[in-house]
Amino acid sequence: MKTTNLLTCCSLLTAAAVICGCASDKTETGGSPASTDQAAPTAKSAYKSREYAANPSKIKFGEFNSVELKETELSPQENNEGNRKSAKVIDKLLLVGLNGIWPNLKVIPAGGEFSKSGERTLQISPRIEHIHLVSVGARIWVGVMAGGSDLIMHVDYRDSSTGEIIANPDFWQGNNAWSGGWSHGAPDNQIRDAVVAQIAAYTSGNK
């Protein structure tokens, strides 16, 4: 009888230890619930999740007798040799896109002054606010580790007769590292084309 009682006590103690052990493990591995709050996106990355949209111009561009396009300028923090080359490419693309709207479009050098003609003129000034284009070489050798590409451009449309800025939209396009990584840089190169197409479409739409 004593042996039976002893075995029963041991069984009860073992069961209690197992139960306590399980409870202890559950507390340690489960912990407190993970927070579902996420930080708001930064200004630099927030534009990627927005659809492109821009307010219409105060004055229809078709009212102007002539049009002048200044070469693309770079914001100070983006002014380096590589980005200046990208700006030159953008200028060529813009010229092609806007020449279809105004065949007599006049180009003004970056940093230069618009003409002092007495004729009412639409003055267009594009500026690169932010640019990061991953090169094809980086995509091939580094892949997704090179990050994503993005481009933000600001364009001022000014009425020469009053000096007023009648439209000042922003244009943007970006991709993530994975979309560029799997295609060896093709989407990275298309970022520039897409932004120029947005500018041309906006300009044509407001004529």
* Cα–Cα distance measured from residue 132 to residue 42, given in angstroms and rounded to the nearest whole number: 16
The answer, as to whether pTM is greater than 0.75, is no
Beta-bridged to residue 158, according to DSSP, are 123, 165
- pLDDT single digits (tens) 96-145: 999 999 999 999 999 899 998 889 999 999 999 998 776 544 444 444 44
- pLDDT single digits (tens) 31-51: 322 332 333 333 445 455 555
Q: Is the pLDDT confidence value at 29 over 50? A: no
Across the range 77-94, mean pLDDT stands at 93
Q: Which phi and psi (to 5°) does residue 150 adopt? A: -160, 155
- pLDDT single digits (tens) 173-182: 876 544 444 4
In order of start, what are the domains of the chain with their CATH numbers?
A: 53-205 (3.40.50)
